[in-house]
Amino acid sequence: QPGSRDRVIGAFLGTFVGDALGMPVEGWTAEEICAHYGEVREMLPGRLRAGTYTDDTEMMIGLAESLLRCQGIDGDDLARTFCRNFNTRRGYGPGTAAVLDLISQGKPWEEASQMVFPGGSYGNGAAMRVAPVACFYAREPAQLRRAAIVSARVTHAHPLAMEGAALQAYAISLSLSSTGPIDAFKFVEKLRDFLSPEGEEYRKKLGCVEELLRSTPSRDEVIARLGNDSRATHSVCTAIYAFLRHLESFEEALVYAVNLGGDTDTIGAMTGAISGAYHGKDGIPPRWLDKLENGSKGRRYVEELAAELWKVVYLA
Ligand code: 8NA
Ligand code: MG
Ligand code: MG
């Protein structure tokens, strides 16, 4: 069922599962992962215990909390919520950590997010957390772009970070509202039509996605053409590709994404969000769900947030 409760929960838990699966090998090359583990297919311990989420999911939680509290996107409330939840132990990108510190010291977010890097951050930190926006606005595509951009702008002022967040949000919403099997090439076409004129880098990357889907490229070729680092331009389309390459299975899409190396937790989180919105919670391997942390803001809480958001959007 398009927009079903199971699929909204799938988008949220998909982010969490991808983040936790990639966490132990974040920053490793594909070769290093291969030499050490062969392949990552289970929840492993790393900097944090097995099944622990990082900044990706912590910020997704903040975004969902704020959307529910304000019944929509509100930059001021979102900034406060990110700051309240900010736990350095989870590992934040240096730009985002600096922006949140500035906001906590009283700087308005509009200024703080311009103060890191020239022109603001173009990191993938805005795209990685965007699943709640995609679910909240899935029925209002015209509003989806604006909402994704505001949600990004609080920490990421660079146009490429905002465009990446909008693209990722749209991919999740397409997946969530699909009524039957997805055609990978039509999916890419819709994504391309969604891009703004400034989205040229993404348009090129989506062209690469199409070409790669037509062949059976090596892992190295995929990394070379799409990227696997923490820039939005070098990770959002990688996640879209992992999803489309393995449309049939949440598990295979996620294993593929994480084993590309680089920004593994984040490419995992983004792949998990798109694939989870398509397959639903029922498509996520139970052995992964069982391993997720379940403290006060753990798995149960994330499911509750997703169910609450679904109620607001789909039972209204
Ligand atoms: P960010 O704003 O620091 O951006 C990520 C990176 O992109 C930066 O550190 C820079 O290297 C680069 N970058 C971004 N904008 C510019 C610019 N204008 N000019 C030059 N370089 C730039 O943080 P973010 O929130 O966007 O990043 C998300 C990433 O941080 C995710 O991978 C997430 O998992 C987390 N992360 C954590 C760790 C860790 O603690 N182990 C490591 C890497 C990333
Ligand atoms: Mg992370
Ligand atoms: Mg990361």
Residue labelled with tokens 């406060």: 80
Ligand 3 mean position to 264 CA, how many Å? Answer: 6
pLDDT of residue 304: 98
Q: What is the mean pLDDT of residues 62-91?
A: 98
Checking if the pLDDT of 37 tops 80, the result is yes
Which atom in ligand 1 lies closest to the alpha carbon of residue 156?
A: 2
Which atom in ligand 1 lies closest to the alpha carbon of residue 99?
A: 2
Which residues, by Cβ under 5 Å, contact ligand 2, an ion? 54-56, 265
pLDDT of residue 123: 98
Ligand 1 mean position to 76 CA, how many Å? Answer: 22
- Please name which ligand lies nearest the alpha carbon of 124: 1
Residue nearest to atom 1 of ligand 1 (CA): 95
The residue whose CB lies within 8 Å of the most ligand 1 atoms, and thus the one to mutate among 230, 235, 265, is 230
Residue nearest to atom 12 of ligand 1 (CA): 123
Which atom in ligand 1 lies closest to the alpha carbon of residue 231?
A: 7
pLDDT of residue 142: 83
Enumerate residues 6+ apart whose C-beta is below 8 A from 227. Answer: 205, 233, 234, 235, 237, 238, 262
- Please name which ligand lies nearest the alpha carbon of 257: 3
Q: Which amino acid is at 187?
A: F
In the chain, the percentage of residues whose pLDDT exceeds 70 is 100
d(CA 242, CA 209): 10
Residue nearest to atom 10 of ligand 1 (CA): 123
Q: What is the mean pLDDT of residues 230-248?
A: 98
**Res. 141 pLDDT band, cuts 50 70 90:** confident
Checking if the pLDDT of 181 tops 80, the result is yes
Checking if the pLDDT of 203 tops 90, the result is yes
d(CA 210, CA 187): 10
pTM: 0.98
In the chain, the percentage of residues whose pLDDT exceeds 90 is 96
Tally of CB atoms within 10 A around 296: 6
Checking if the pLDDT of 316 tops 90, the result is no
Checking if the pLDDT of 234 tops 80, the result is yes
Ligand 1 mean position to 274 CA, how many Å? Answer: 21
Ligand 2 mean position to 23 CA, how many Å? Answer: 7
Checking if the pLDDT of 94 tops 90, the result is yes
**Res. 192 pLDDT band, cuts 50 70 90:** very high
DSSP codes, the chain: -TT-HHHHHHHHHHHHHHHHHHGGGTT-BHHHHHHHHSS--S---SSS-TT---HHHHHHHHHHHHHHHHTS--HHHHHHHHHHH--GGG---HHHHHHHHHHHTT--HHHHTTSSSTTS--BTTTTTT-HHHHHHTTT-HHHHHHHHHHHHHTT--SHHHHHHHHHHHHHHHHHHH--SPPPHHHHHHHHHHHS-TT-HHHHHHHHHHHHHHHS---HHHHHHHH--SSBGGGTHHHHHHHHHHTTT-HHHHHHHHHTTBSSHHHHHHHHHHHHHHHH-GGGS-HHHHTTS--STTSHHHHHHHHHHHHHHHH--
Q: What is the mean pLDDT of residues 2-18?
A: 95
Checking if the pLDDT of 178 tops 80, the result is yes
List ligand 1's pocket residues with C-beta within 6 A: 26-27, 54-56, 91-96, 117-119, 121-125, 158, 230-231, 263, 265-266
Ligand 3 mean position to 316 CA, how many Å? Answer: 35
- What is the residue-averaged pLDDT of the chain? 97
Residue nearest to atom 44 of ligand 1 (CA): 93
Q: What is the mean pLDDT of residues 71-91?
A: 98
Distance between the two ends of the chain, CA-based, in angstroms? 17
